[in-house]
Structure 1
């Protein structure tokens, strides 16, 4: 059955959501591991600044990738809403809202990076600040990005919770096991974000929290992406 508003079939929305989720994962991994993990040294401002200056195009590419991820987040929120509203329209709308709020917060957090290169490459700043002060400013911007992202991930976790619940309640609309993993991932995101702010020795348990987030998150989100791309035709059976 086609959608009355756009004439597009549920399979179309399944493909949009699946492709968006998969491309988003690829771009996010590139930005995270090549830029955030590869260039930024949390306890060494001078080395971080040197890495960014020496790899300016990589840094810029990472920012562009994150911007594309923001656009994909909006598309995925829209497509998942259309797919899940037959299960419960109000909850599907709530899930979309949680993802859009996360996207907005992440976009605001990402804006901190826009000032990093001007600070490091602008000779005029050296007349006001020393190099060490500029490097400290850069680290403050990076910390502001990280803190904003952590807050946003709480909303993202809430999004996954609602999506996972809708999948479980869909009666086979989408495999229940995917919904279970998404709920586990939602708990991981929320717990990890809260732990960042509550535990002064968070770094001592960083690996444990990473596993709590990454394992169900990767399994749940990638399983959903591939299922929508490969088996999304089953969505039509619900319409």
Structure 2
């Protein structure tokens, strides 16, 4: 005969993963969304350059936030794989490699922030350019950073889609949550590809933007579900004779 037991280590790992998810969401919301929106005016090179100089500490915070996010992403990727690999190992391998690829691209994308930072900290590096040229150069790298975000979001879309599939098919997780994550993965992929191809905003892009709301909801739902309920798979263990 066999008995069923709930491994406590898995339950604890689920709570750590949920906490990391929330920390990444908060820090990423600040460094990826809020701070750039406050500093960068994508149709005004002069104002963007002036904002970076006047609010240098805020720009530094954005860089620090990006670094923190990519480090936390590495730990979260390992935890999610350990938690869900028994449900569908192939899908979780794809999800894990995709999320690690995302973190690598995030790290490379930091270069597009470091060049504007160098232009501000070491003005002599831009001495060959006049003011207008320097401001335009600064904005080019800020825009490149934004396109870098769309590049890593494609890999996040693959991760979210595969993770959503695993959650949907697992008997221990909410199936509807998995379905919403699947839709969220499609939304991230579609939105990112449209931006990278520089396709003008239209009905399709607006549709993907609306679906991204579902993606955000699913991520917070997943984080709180891990924190509150954990993830405890019933695993058969042979009874002692």
Q: TM-score scaled to structure 2, two decimals?
A: 0.89
Q: Which moved more, 1:25-34 or 1:204-213?
A: 204-213
Shift of 1:90: 2.3
Question: Which residue in 2 is equivalent to 1:41?
Answer: 41
Distance 1:187 1:80 in 2: 20
Structure 1 residue runs of 5 or longer lacking an equivalent are none
Shift of 1:32: 2.9
Shift of 1:237: 3.2
Shift of 1:193: 0.9
Render the CA deviation track for 1:155-177: whole Å, top value 9, x for unaligned.
11000111000001111x22112
Aligned partner (choices 218, 221, 232) of residue 220 of structure 1: 218
Question: Which residue in 2 is equivalent to 1:230?
Answer: 228
Distance 1:199 1:144 in 2: 13
Residues 96 and 159 in structure 1, CA contact (< 8 A), matched pair in contact too: yes
Distance 1:194 1:29 in 2: 21
Q: TM-score scaled to structure 1, two decimals?
A: 0.90
Question: RMSD between aligned alpha carbons?
Answer: 2.0
Distance 1:121 1:205 in 2: 42
Distance 1:197 1:126 in 2: 29
Q: Alignment length, in residue pairs?
A: 232
Cα 1:20/1:32, change in 2 over 3 Å: same
Query: Relative contact order (alpha carbons < 8 A, sep ≥ 6): 1 or 2 greater?
Result: 2
Distance 2:206 2:38 in 1: 17
Matches within 5 A, 1:135-214: 135-171=135-171, 173-202=172-201, 208-213=207-212
Larger Rg: 2
